[in-house]
């Protein structure tokens, strides 16, 4: 994330007591807002939770890896069944207009900037 970005990662001081994986997140900023892309492999839509409150964005998801009946896992690289990441959002962002899409384990959040901070074109009149 660049120094200009409108979102910062918060520490887990208010995190739930259970351990969680930090999903990788790309933050892309343009003139009209930010886009967050979070990788959440193994998380079904019904176990994905997004919360926006008091300038804070929380992304949580529970991994659903089903072992076929009668079989045991001999090796598991993913031992924590939960993702969690918390960000502090800039006041320049309009969280009320946030949109979210979830496809193939990738969460895409779009948070536009407020109209006051978005660039606008000023018409020049000839007098």
Per-residue pLDDT tens digits for 66-91: 778 888 777 776 667 899 999 999 99
The domains of the chain are located at: 7-68+76-112
Phi, psi of 95 (to 5 degrees): -65, -20
| pLDDT for residue 9 | 58
Residue in 34, 13, 9 with CA at minimum distance from that of residue 22: 9
Which DSSP category does 42 fall into? T
Q: What are the residue ranges in the chain where pLDDT is below 70?
A: 1-17, 77-79, 118
Q: What is the pTM of this model?
A: 0.74
Q: What is 7-68+76-112's CATH topology? A: Immunoglobulin-like (2.60.40)
Q: What pLDDT sits at residue 28?
A: 97
Burial of 34 (0-12, 13-18, 19+ CB in 10 A): buried
d(CA 57, CA 50): 7
Sign of the Cα pseudo-torsion (87, 88, 89, 95, in order): positive
């Amino acid at each position: 994330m660049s120094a200009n970005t409108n979102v910062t990662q918060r520490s887990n001081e208010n995190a739930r007591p259970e351990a969680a994986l930090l999903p990788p997140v790309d933050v892309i900023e343009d003139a009209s807002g930010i886009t967050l892309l979070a990788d959440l492999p193994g998380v079904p839509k019904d176990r994905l939770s997004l919360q926006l409150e008091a300038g804070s964005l929380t992304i949580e998801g529970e991994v659903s890896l089903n072992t076929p009946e009668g079989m045991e896992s001999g090796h598991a690289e993913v031992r924590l069944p939960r993702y969690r990441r918390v960000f502090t959002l800039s006041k320049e962002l309009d969280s009320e207009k946030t949109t979210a899409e979830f496809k193939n384990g990738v969460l895409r959040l779009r948070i536009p900037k407020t109209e006051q901070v978005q660039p606008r074109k000023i018409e020049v009149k000839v007098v």
